[in-house]
Chain A
Amino acid sequence: MTLPKNLQEIVDDIASMSREEKLETLIAYAETMPDLPDRFQEERSKMEPVPECMTPVFIIAEKEADGGIAFHLDIPKQSPTVRGLASILTNGLNGCSLEEIISVPADFYMPMNLQEAVSQQRINGFIGVLAHMKQAAVKAGAG
């Protein structure tokens, strides 16, 4: 499987880390996630509330001038694990073409061995975020 270059680098990087380094890296990703640009706040306010136990994840994608897709996310700061995982995806996929994004396999994360650092529930959520991002990219790519 061929992953987009940035995503592949992140996967390789995390794969080589100890459990503690993985956690530190997730925190760093969580803390550097940019705030949602103001121009998306209206869209954000229309998001349906998600049932408890789940972290609300707002995702919007835009097609840039060069045809690449840019993702903008809004995830509460009280959920650093979800922010960190989602931030891996935006860092790995921002600027990629629609084709590259939709061909990321759902099991791409396996080599990172994240399950030693976070629970399976989180990993399920992570796959859910990827599926959401693909949908958002399709929507943006068609627009």
Chain B
Amino acid sequence: MSYAHPEYLVDTEWVAQHLNDPNVRIIESDEDPLLYAIGHIPNAAQVDWFTTLQHPLRRDFVTKEQFEELASKLGITNDTTVVFYGDKSNWFACYALWLFQYYGHQNAKIMDGGRIKWEQENRPLVKDVPAFTATSYKAKEADQSIRAFRNDVFKQLEAKKPMVDVRSPKEYSGELLHMPNYPQEGATRGGHIPGAVNIPWAMAVNEADSTFKSADELKKLYEGKDIKPEGEIIAYCRIGERSSLTWFVLKYLLGYPTVKNYDGSWTEWGNLVDAPIEK
């Protein structure tokens, strides 16, 4: 079998061929945002989950107006093909794609393998920051069908619908909060949402070059854990970045119709008073 929606994925060679295509905007989105300054794909722009995608005050994403401003500044029109890539197997590239789609930019793709593969192939990285002619981008109303809030999670729990916890096994079991010298990003309780199955995000990518595993391997992985196309699925991790990778895999590589990313994730659930937890 092949990916359900292969049009959401491009390879490094495709990107290399479209570096100066005016209808394509290549965007780097990293876990470590300084990587862009050290060297990025020629003509690529940068977004940073922390400083450009998050609301400066509330724990939320930028507003629709702020998103329009950001997209306009990056010279993106409503017809631009936006291609994301990043470090750490594309966690934050998927996160950025998810947010672009949240505001209605459907024409967004991931560069398979991300930064790692581009570097492995000794493709050029530059320090020049490109300038783009500003556009007047018009975003759509936020698409709540791809985002879960805590109340959706409570309803999901009640209805016993499937949830995927994509963190590492020790985070799932609750052990990791107690690692010495590594203060965790604030959750006061460890464990997972009752009923959530643990399928670490990394199982969806090939370790060697960070590309996604084949459709057959992915199908076996998720269906083997009862995460099936007909289920309405919620994925979560700690802050919603690793789960946006799993969201991308389920939604576009496997073609599941209903998948939501719970970006509040463990840093919300593990701090909520009266929320059930399983260890």
Contact = CB atoms under 8 A, between A and B. Distances in A.
The contact size tier of chain B is 20 to 34
Given A27-B37, A125-B183, 9 more contacts: A23-B37, A24-B37, A30-B38, A51-B176, A53-B168, A53-B238, A78-B35, A124-B185, A135-B181
Nearest to A121: B185
Contacts, number: 53
B182 A128 contact: yes
Given A124-B183, A127-B183, A128-B182, A81 B176 contact: no
A54 B182 contact: yes
A80 B38 contact: yes
Secondary structure type dominating chain A contacts: helix
A84 interface: yes
A89 B112 CA distance: 36
B183 A81 contact: no
A119 B50 contact: yes
B33 A81 contact: yes
A3 interface: no
Contact of A51 (B171, B183, B185, B242): B171
A86 interface: no
Contacts of B184: 124
A27 B38 contact: yes
A60 interface: no
B24 interface: no
A23 B32 CA distance: 12
Given A51-B170, A53-B238, A26 B34 contact: yes
Contact of B32 (A52, A80, A128): A80
